[in-house]
Structure 1
């Protein structure tokens, strides 16, 4: 019986497997997580630090066509992606320690749903920022530095689409992998009972016809052939 424990499921080995930091860092999923973390920081950092400029007035305006919603959108999804990358990175480290197959399945479903959603939100953010930037007049930008920040936010938003789409694909592959029953330990696998020699002999005797039954079932007129 499995007793709800996982000996190898959803892309991870048996529960309690020793953590290998080198192998963990080399995983494609870990590399994408780190890139997603860096790119999200680049997006909201560029907007917060240099995305608001003074365009002929005392009030600071969003560099994207003075549209505050564009700056707010980039900051919000960037910060949430930043936090989510750290959360899922910690979950990846803890994942092999999860002994319940159901809990592993829930974690993979959460990862798959969030990654797919954020790939879509980054796509919306890229289109939104690029559209607003195209309507921004160069004359309204007193500093070239603000232009660099705007372009950086747009570029890293586009890169984030690819990163989170890749994370979604990896999560789907992990979900489709499911639980490999061949990885369960021999102790968890049901033991097959083989008959002993005594049982085989007893079964043979029970199935063998008795002498009385043999005599009684002889056909009429049957004579025993003489012995030579």
Structure 2
């Protein structure tokens, strides 16, 4: 069992190597998800609301539907915190020695990544639909149009980045499950 190290279990308790961590595909994709959430949040929070001189309050650029802007801001914020939390888990993951604990972490990652992929699919469809239904007379100067398009495009990209994280986590689950089976077969029996 000296030569077997299933996804870092053999190195558990070792020093953290930031260069190795940043080079992992899962870390790179998670950082991209984190960046996309910031872009979406920034676009909608900064330029997603406009006001006309004859009206007192601001309205959402997406077909005057406040729910569209609220959805984008809420999902961008939650996705930012979720990405940050799972980045922290990725840093801590090599330190987890128990196979069952590793498996729980990986299953949580699969579930959350799959859910975020679906949420961004719904968000993309919702924002694109509301943008298409927007009327030109609501925003004659086309204020915030680039920001709205950017939010739609990055929500589309987020579907695939979170889907990619789901696939990477499934691959990680296979390695952890293999480690569990290996330990069952080759662990010495307790006397």
With the length of structure 1 as denominator, give the TM-score of the two structures: 0.74
Give the aligned partner of residue 91 of structure 2.
Answer: 93
Structure 2: segments with no counterpart, 5+ residues: none
Give the aligned partner of residue 141 of structure 1.
Answer: 139
Matches within 5 A, 1:8-27: 8-9=5-6, 11-14=7-10, 15-27=12-24
2:45 counterpart of 1:48:
yes
> Is the 8 Å Cα contact of residues 34 and 85 (structure 1) preserved in structure 2?
yes
Does the residue aligned with 2:144 lie in a helix, a strand or coil? helix
Cα distance, 1:82–1:180 mapped onto 2, change above 3 Å: same
Aligned residues: 181
Matches within 5 A, 1:98-137: 98-137=96-135
Larger Rg computed on CA atoms: 1
Distance 2:45 2:110 in 1: 29
Q: CA RMSD in A?
A: 2.0
Structure 1: segments with no counterpart, 5+ residues: 1-6, 192-228
Distance 2:111 2:92 in 1: 19
Residue from 61, 64, 86 that aligns with 1:63 = 61
2:158 counterpart of 1:157:
no
With the length of structure 2 as denominator, give the TM-score of the two structures: 0.87
Give the aligned partner of residue 179 of structure 2.
Answer: 180
